Amino acid sequence: MSPIEHISDTARWVAIYRAMETERPDAIFRDPYARRLAGERGEEIVASMPQGRSTAWAMIVRTAVMDEIIRERIAAGADLVVNLAAGLDARPWRLDLPPSLRWVDVDFPAMIEYKTAQLRGETPRCRYEAIAADLTDVAKRDALFAQLGAEGRRALVISEGLLIYLEAEQVRALARSLHAVPTFRWWLADIANQRLLRMLQKQWATMLRQANAPMKFGVDDLEGFFEPLGWRVAQFRSTLLEAHRLRREMRFGWLVRFMIGISPRARKEEARRMSGCVLFERS
């Protein structure tokens, strides 16, 4: 039986990767809460996954790049961060954030309860709030978005690790719901293309299917998919390129870069767009 029993358990898996990076002497970020939040279940999940530790680099890069983009948007005037399917993200505690910033985590009630218990006694760096909500309940979700939007002026929405578990139509509906709130200025997400989605489905399909958490969403034409929904691509930070910059490449990453370098232009672009962090801006 899979140690991932619910989609929320994937947060423990990612927290182990943050702990692994934190414990390196040359860490590119530090999350002193990650191992506590992951717990023994997190270790069990990673140990049971095919290539569980060797694939850590991609999520470590994702964390570091999103940290950078979040800081940039706050410096650009974001006064509210809405973190959807927040999981065990500890950014309100580990990042140097303005005390005036309002940060709202949204997730399933059980995840909010667990995270609150694990971080009890710790002081966040900003005005922190946790809201228990099922984001698949569209009516309640949209009402929450409207409420939060009315309470901020320039909001950054984060959906780290969320979209890949949704159907394409659910992603469209979420994009429309976010765009319906005028103060939701930016949206930060991680995106895989169809080729990478198929690779991940093949690698982890059995484990994630048993937990009713299959990976479903990948898109090759970011602009074509999201721009009609009101979101233009302001930044695309390729996982492959950022891994090289941050010195966190996969094993034999140099060889992968060499092979891509001698490939036709279309193949190079496909590789660059295989996955990345995307900052959308209202259009």
Which tens digit of pLDDT belongs to each residue from 99-110?
999 999 999 999
- Work out the pLDDT band at 255, boundaries 50, 70, 90: low
User: What separation in angstroms does the CA of 223 have from each of 46, 226, 249, 283?
Assistant: 34, 5, 27, 11
CA Rg value for the chain? 18
What are the CA-CA distances from residue 149 to residues 71, 125, 179, 202 (Å)? 20, 22, 11, 39
Question: Once rounded to an integer, what is the mean pLDDT over residues 19-48?
Answer: 95
The CA distance from 81 to 73, in Å, is 10
User: What does the pLDDT average to over 261-277?
Assistant: 80
pLDDT for position 8: 82
Say what the pLDDT of residue 209 is.
72
8 Å CB contact between 97 and 74: yes
Residue 126: C-alpha distances to residues 66, 96, 129, 130, 266 (Å) = 18, 9, 10, 13, 44
How far CA 134 is from CA of 8, 81, 113, 262, 277, in Å, comes to 12, 18, 14, 46, 24
Q: Indicate if the pLDDT at residue 247 is higher than 60.
A: yes
Percent of the chain whose pLDDT exceeds 70 = 96
| pLDDT at 1 > cutoff 70 | no
Give me the DSSP letters along 111-166: HHHHHHHHTTT---SSEEEEEE--TT-HHHHHHHHHHHHHT-SSEEEEETTTGGGS
Mean pLDDT of 42-48: 89
% pLDDT > 90, the chain: 77
CB within 8 A of 51, min separation 6: which ones? 203
Q: How far apart are CA 24 and CA 115, in angstroms?
A: 24
65-104 per-residue burial string, b: 16 or more CB within 10 A, e: under 16? bbbebbeebbeeebbbbbbbbbbbbbbbbbbebeeebbbb
